[in-house]
Amino acid sequence: MTKPRLWITRRLSDATLERAERDYDVVINHADTPGTADELIAASAEFDAIIPCHSEHFSADVVAQFSDRLKIVANHSVGVDHCDLPSLKARGIAITNTPDVLSDATAELAMLLMLGAARHAVAGDRIVRTGQWDSWSPAFMVGKQVTGARLGIIGMGRVGRAFAAKARGFDMEIHYYNRSELSASDAQGAVYHDSIESLLGIADFLSLHCPATPETTGLMNDARFALLPKGGIVVNTARGALVDESALLNALQSGHLAAAGLDCFQVEPGGNPAFAAHDNIFMLPHIGSATRTTRDAMGFRALDNLDAFFAGKTPGDLL
């Protein structure tokens, strides 16, 4: 039987590429450059399937120019805000993502950002590294304690719940806002708030874990930052679109917020140059899911979805 033709747009894990080469007639972009609109359009005529990352943008305009050959876009990501889902579905193209497998890695990174933001990781690392650590005082680099503090989580899906589980290890009091209240077994004692405003009012620490959609774009704006308790700390490992970055900067510069930990930015790659001057913004370059274990699991999950599709079954993560 002829193997389906598959285009893998980026350098996925070795184990993923080996399995893809075994089971598909695959072309791998070893150069690892993000797929352009023209490349996606050309690929739609040459391949039955694409495994893209969030770096490839399937806009309505791009999808409108697709040929009829492409049958499935099996994303190597849980987020699908880079895909115009209605346009893809209207073309009869199946779309899948990779939920579950990156929840722990992303929650670990959220913990790193929360702790780093709370304890002056940026400035502390720099002064030691540059030989500027020349004194010590009880008043030196005093941060905010996580243990026992109230953590507000917006979006209590898989990643939000994984983060809550890790935060319980720090004896944090967990509160959340979600579109619907969780079952008692999923909530594990976390306190439900039926509005974002109510959650913000008590969140000493706030962590964002909801997808970027038209409804959540700019979710954290001037008015909402103002609702956080003074000295609050904001963590974002979800998507840059959730945060109005000027509003965040205003809240930090005014001293209303103490710090932020960010893995996601409105502009990626690159981030926001205006953040660079602020030691109380601990930043990482969108690496929430970047562990070896998780990269293999994401690649395998994308391939599982493809395998099911080409076996005539419904892929487990069909959107």
Q: Is 158 in the site for ligand DGY (CB under 6 A)?
A: no
Binding residue count for ligand DGY, defined by CB under 6 A: 8
CB of 97 to ligand DGY, least distance (A): 7
Can 239 be counted among the known catalytic residues? yes
Query: Is there a catalytic annotation at residue 215?
Result: no
Q: Specify which residues 233 forms β-bridges with.
A: 205, 259
d(CA 56, CA 319): 18
Using rule CB under 6 A, residue 77 touches ligand DGY: yes
CA-CA distance, 123 to 125, in Å (whole number)? 6
54 touches ligand DGY (CB under 6 A): yes
Which stretch, 57-65, 77-85, 86-94, 228-236, contacts ligand DGY (CB under 6 A)?
A: 77-85
78 touches ligand DGY (CB under 6 A): yes
Within 10 angstroms of residue 154's Cβ, the number of other Cβ atoms is: 25
Told to check if 99 binds ligand DGY by CB under 6 A, we report no
Residue tagged active-site, from 120, 224, 239, 301: 239
The residue (of 102 and 162) whose beta carbon lies closer to ligand DGY is 102
Nearer to ligand DGY, 54 or 209 (CB): 54
Taking CB under 6 A as the criterion, the residue among 63, 74, 102, 200 binding ligand DGY is: 102
268 flagged as catalytic: yes
By CB under 6 A, what part of segment 263-302 binds ligand DGY? Answer: 288-289
Query: Which is nearer to ligand DGY, 227 or 318 (by Cβ)?
Result: 318
Q: How far is the CB of 289 from ligand DGY (least distance, A)?
A: 5
Which lies closer to ligand DGY via its Cβ, residue 111 or residue 118? 111
> Could you give the residue numbers annotated as active site?
239, 268, 286
Q: What is the contact surface with ligand DGY in residues (CB under 6 A)?
A: 53-54, 77-79, 102, 288-289
